[in-house]
Amino acid sequence: MLGLAPLGMLGLTPLGVLEPALLGMMGLALGNFGTGSVGTCTVGNVGIRTVGNVGIGPVGNVVTCTVEYVGNVGICTVGNVGTGAVGNVATGTVGNVGTGTVGNVGTGAVGNVETGTVGNVGTGTVGYVGGVGTGTVGNVGTASVGNVGTGSVGNVGTGSVGNVGIGSVGNVGTGSVGDVRTGTVGDVGTGPVGNVGTGSVRDVGI
């Protein structure tokens, strides 16, 4: 069913029972109250809550965000949805698995990580270009979660999560936000990281 997360209130995602969040409680959607605060959707049997800014809301201010689970993958898209939100996350968990940390960490990093890790698995092992030690992580079947295309959760193409193989992580094509046009990961490489081109955030079409 559709997960209800009305405008900054507790996010409910009934799939028979409440989906457990990272803290074993209902997911808290703390962020921007009012218009464009919290959106919800259910992708197939994949529950995902978008927390923060939806549409053309202001630059993403997300204080905390617990992890919801897509299959066995914990994912929470924080602050970045639509065409105008540039997500900065303090302690949220964005597009990661298990206890990994954020796509955007710090005081003003856009698509960068200052103190956290990006798109990682387990205990927060940092993804890197060329491969992931534990394999392809955060890819759930053929579901497109947080992005558009045939890729899996948080990334597009044949690349893994938290790194780049042929595809890349958390970005689509050449014009998405929270990725790099040159196909690198997080803030790796020479391409601009975070907001590139005119595409939207984490759900950009090719």
Query: Which tens digit of pLDDT belongs to each residue from 97-135?
Result: 333 333 333 333 333 333 333 333 333 333 333 332 222
Q: CA–CA separation, 134 vs 130, rounded Å?
A: 13
Q: What percent of the chain has pLDDT over 70?
A: 0
Per-residue pLDDT reduced to its tens digit, 81-91: 333 333 333 33
DSSP state of 7: G
Predicted confidence band at 7 (pLDDT cuts at 50, 70, 90)?
very low
What mean pLDDT do residues 72-84 have? 38
Torsion of CA 98, 104, 106, 110, to 10 degrees: 170
DSSP string, 114-182: SSS-SS--TTTPPPBTTB-TT-S-S--TT---SS-SS--TTEETT--TTS-SSSEES--TTS-BSS-TT
Q: What is the pLDDT of residue 187?
A: 30
Residues 6+ apart with CB under 8 A from 5: 11, 12, 27, 29, 38, 39, 40, 49, 51
Predicted confidence band at 175 (pLDDT cuts at 50, 70, 90)?
very low
